[in-house]
Structure 1
Amino acid sequence: MKAPRLIMVFLVWLKIASLQAQAPHERLYELRTYYASEGKFDALLNRFKTHTLKLFKKHQMKVEGFWVPVDNTEGKLVYLLSFPNKAAKEAYSKAFVEDQEWKKVVAETTKEGEIVAKIESVDLKMTDFSPYDWKNIGNRVFELRVYKATPNNLGNLLDRFKSHTIELLEKHGIHNLIYWTPIEGSQGADDMLYYFVAHKDKASGLASFKEFDSDPAWKKVKAETEAKAGGLLTVYLKSEYLLPTDFSPIK
């Protein structure tokens, strides 16, 4: 191999290594939700486990986790990918969908009908106060919580989490994992907050949040921050308890 080619190979390797070593707070996260076609949930899971994960790795699409709802009445699969940045996400994803091996997998797995009914996706960035306790410890349930802030109050909501809520959640046994907002220019960038917490199980999570809501310290913080903002900081909260799949990197 000639010297210029050796230099080029080394530079490519160095670039890949630098991206892999990138700090979690600098990465772009994509939260994806798949709804299986009726009767096709097992087929969808099997396609991810047997084929898709290998192709994600081939195309440098880092898998952070895979989950199914504790009460999975909709045939839902939730998973999280991360990328160095938006440009990398677009390039890696394009290479993935154009991969002949992937096209072959799709053809083979949809011979008896489409296995995906609907896909939802949101691109996220970590907040400046977000923890990143992304350890595989097992024997727990994850909870994905999504808040919509009232108009012009996302900043106030984030400040309340940063200054008060995170600490109070831990006080009541609710373990903070990661916090995000949608990336600039995307839907929800001005009013949405996404985060994962972990519990021993769903019952423990429900009990912990009941204690949290009754805590005089939380009631005081809530009243003070709402008075400062001139009203409620949130329009709604959506919560879903999730179990990691057997092939999820994090459990």
Structure 2
Amino acid sequence: MNFITILIYSLLFHFPFMSFKKADTRVFELRIYHCNEGKLNDLIARFQNHTTKIFERHGMQNIGYWLPTATDNNSLYYILAYPDLASREASWKAFGSDEEWQKVRTESEMNGKIVNKVESIYLNATDFSPAIKKSIKNPERIFELRTYTCYPGRITALETRFRDHTVKLFKQHGMTNVAYWKTIEKDAANTPKLVYILAHKSEAAAKKSFDDFRVDPKWVAARDKSESNGKIVEKVESVFMKPLPFSSIR
């Protein structure tokens, strides 16, 4: 038995509950499609019947598809995963020239363009994110996409607070941690944002969970300690979403 083997056995003996989580090195992309009036159902049908399958054929992994619950938000939110940025570029190039996709796009837009605007945000999973994988629950859940914009230089403090405290407290208050990411900024001088998804039984349940969370003494202590050198979060954005039937996370 060599030294390395002895060391591993020793660690397992002394720390039996220790888990060695493999880092998720994939590049994720959050894409938001803002539809032209009356075209959202056409977009959903195109994704469900064609686009998702063509994505997979070209090496893109479908993570999740959602619609905002707000009736004035005529958009579709979805997340893809790739091995790396170079693979992302190659996959989209192949997708764009795919004959089936070109035919589907032309036929679906015979009565007018479907998508008015596309937003694209590149992401890396954080080291405290749960495994980002297929997850289907019954009854169907409501999801919440939250984006935190930090003050300059404060993203590390926010990550530490989530890693050491917030994620556990969310769970204690009935919220399901689905995934956590940091944005990949084109300009390295920009502070990355924290983007994450929670799951709730309902929007009312989400409100109660957050109300209870905010007055939890453990949260108050963690927040105050983490902000001893100044505020961390400048802006919080929240979008409640319902999953589409073909979403791998719902």
Within 5 A, what are the aligned runs for 1:33-182?
33-132=32-131, 134=133, 135-138=135-138, 139-182=140-183
Q: Which residue identity lines up with residue 238 of structure 2 in the other structure?
A: S
Matched residue count: 227
Work out the CA distance in 2 between the residues paired with 1:32 and 1:243.
16
Provide the aligned C-alpha RMSD in A: 1.7
Contact 1:126-1:181 at 8 Å conserved across structures: yes
Residue 183 of structure 1 corresponds to which residue in structure 2?
184
Contact 2:185-2:192 at 8 Å conserved across structures: no
Contact 2:28-2:80 at 8 Å conserved across structures: yes
What stretches of structure 1 of length at least 5 have no aligned partner?
Answer: 1-22
Structure 2 counterpart SS, 1:25: coil
Work out the CA distance in 2 between the residues paired with 1:166 and 1:63.
25
Instruction: Report the alpha carbon displacement of residue 74 of structure 1 after superposing the two structures with TM.
Output: 2.0
Shift in CA distance, 201/118, structure 1 to aligned 2, threshold 3 Å: same
Q: Which residue identity lines up with residue 152 of structure 1 in the other structure?
A: G
Percent of matched pairs sharing the same residue:
38
Shift in CA distance, 242/53, structure 1 to aligned 2, threshold 3 Å: same
Work out the CA distance in 2 between the residues paired with 1:120 and 1:217.
37
Instruction: Report the alpha carbon displacement of residue 191 of structure 1 after superposing the two structures with TM.
Output: 3.2
Structure 1 counterpart SS, 2:67: strand
Contact 1:170-1:176 at 8 Å conserved across structures: yes
Q: Which residue identity lines up with residue 136 of structure 2 in the other structure?
A: N
Contact 1:176-1:198 at 8 Å conserved across structures: yes
Shift in CA distance, 238/220, structure 1 to aligned 2, threshold 3 Å: same
Query: With structure 2 as the length reference, what TM-score do the two structures score?
Result: 0.86
Residue 6 of structure 1 corresponds to which residue in structure 2?
none
Work out the CA distance in 2 between the residues paired with 1:95 and 1:48.
17
Instruction: Report the alpha carbon displacement of residue 184 of structure 1 after superposing the two structures with TM.
Output: 5.4
Shift in CA distance, 187/31, structure 1 to aligned 2, threshold 3 Å: farther
Work out the CA distance in 2 between the residues paired with 1:120 and 1:188.
21
Structure 1 counterpart SS, 2:227: helix
Residue 213 of structure 2 corresponds to which residue in structure 1?
212
Contact 1:181-1:189 at 8 Å conserved across structures: no
Q: Which residue identity lines up with residue 220 of structure 2 in the other structure?
A: K
What stretches of structure 2 of length at least 5 have no aligned partner?
Answer: 1-21
Work out the CA distance in 2 between the residues paired with 1:59 and 1:152.
38
Alpha-carbon displacement from aligned partner over 1:125-165 (angstroms, at most 9, x marks no partner): 01112112642223211111100011110111111101111
Work out the CA distance in 2 between the residues paired with 1:107 and 1:194.
34
Contact 2:145-2:240 at 8 Å conserved across structures: yes
Alpha-carbon displacement from aligned partner over 1:73-109 (angstroms, at most 9, x marks no partner): 1211100110111111110111001112211111111
